[in-house]
Amino acid sequence: MKVIVLLFVCAVTAFGYGYWDSFGDGGRVQSIAPVSAGMCGATVPDSLSALSLFINSSALASAEKITFSLSGWELGWREEITYHYTCVEPFRYNIGAMTPSGACAVTVPLGRGLTAGAGIATVAQYQMQSTAQEYTEITSTQRELWRTFYTDPHGSLTEALVSMAGTVGPVSLGFSPGVRFGTGGATTYVNRVNGADSVLVTSWEHSEFCVRAGANMKLDYTVLYSTFVSGDSRYSSFYNLGVSASFPFMKGGYLGTEIGFVNGNDLNVTAFTRLPGVVEGSNMYLGLNGYRPDFALKTGIGLSIGGDYSFGNYRVSGAYFFHSRYREGTAVPLPYINHLYDAGDLIILGVERIF
């Protein structure tokens, strides 16, 4: 007979796509704009996209015309759990895909160096059906399966923001306050090898004030910039410092790097470049990322590639962004887990219309 039970689960921070992340921050969308995703989520200012109010709102201060931006993505995920070698099943693989989601925004120049904007975007998703196993010790060289946890979660977090950006001398500033809200839950089945099975049904609602802000300063061929994202009980904070440089021989391209911290102390370093494309009006984007969270076994790697093409009053863009993390087994509460690896594959498309 199935009864309601309480499960001890551990909420982990930053992005994640496995069993334990279903109860915490969920799967954080690494970038909601293709240009940023094509550079491993870099927050370098992009004045051509209204979605910059979510990424680096200081970029909007350079907008000259009304701009509408729309993006949509599909996120695939996988998790690998490695148990102690004495366990009956030392490896566990979970894999799946999120519900397609998207974002949209509009910006309007107000004159005198000011730009206003508004937008809405999905920022985290929870559709990660996954399994975890708990073992018990029989002898010093043998562990047997005690119970299996299977969770079927649902839900998402959305941000609705307004934004204001302006320029003071060489410095541009942007401020995007709003609300982060969502609903979700999970049904977790606990199947015991011996004894009664059980089931836990949970649900949650979330609504919190949030802020995204950015600043940049142009110095000859160089742009210095910084961004900030507030956190709460279901979304990790983020802040960074970055620099990009553009030289005449790059023909409008640039290269740069940034260093940031997720949830206060999880190191996130990114290198990126934009190169002029073969076709006039096009650009190519490349990124390389290293992410080291708490309980890191080694640095997780991110790789990305993207491109855009501008014609008339439109710009279309797309990107692929792979990102990963490695953690020690002590990051989660179940015994006899050596380490965990989880990764996401983001495919994103977008369009801008300038009026």
In-domain check, residue 240: no
In-domain check, residue 147: yes
In-domain check, residue 40: yes
In-domain check, residue 46: yes
HEC secondary structure over 290-349: EEECCCECCCEEEEEEEEEEEECCEEEEEEEEEEEEEEEHHHCCCCCEEEEEEEEEEEEE
If phi over 0 gives left and psi between -120 and 50 gives alpha, with beta otherwise, what is residue 51?
alpha
Task: Please report how many Cα atoms fall inside a 13 Å half-sphere around the Cα of residue 201, on the Cβ side.
Answer: 2
Give me the domain span that covers residue 340: 20-212+305-354
pLDDT at 141: 85
pLDDT at 1: 36
In-domain check, residue 13: no
In-domain check, residue 137: yes
Can you name the residues that pair with 91 across neighbouring β-strands?
A: 82
Banded pLDDT at 115 (limits 50, 70, 90): very high
What is the domain count for the chain?
1
In-domain check, residue 161: yes
pLDDT at 153: 92
For the cut 90, the answer to whether the pLDDT of residue 307 exceeds it is yes
Query: Which pTM was predicted?
Result: 0.92
Cβ atoms of 160 and 104 within 8 Å: the answer is no
The structure tokens listed for 267 are 């190191």
In-domain check, residue 220: no
pLDDT at 197: 87
Cβ atoms of 176 and 103 within 8 Å: the answer is no
For the cut 70, the answer to whether the pLDDT of residue 10 exceeds it is no
Q: Using CA of residue 11, residue 16, residue 18, residue 22, what is the dihedral sign?
A: positive
For the cut 80, the answer to whether the pLDDT of residue 39 exceeds it is yes
Average pLDDT of the residues in 342-349:
95
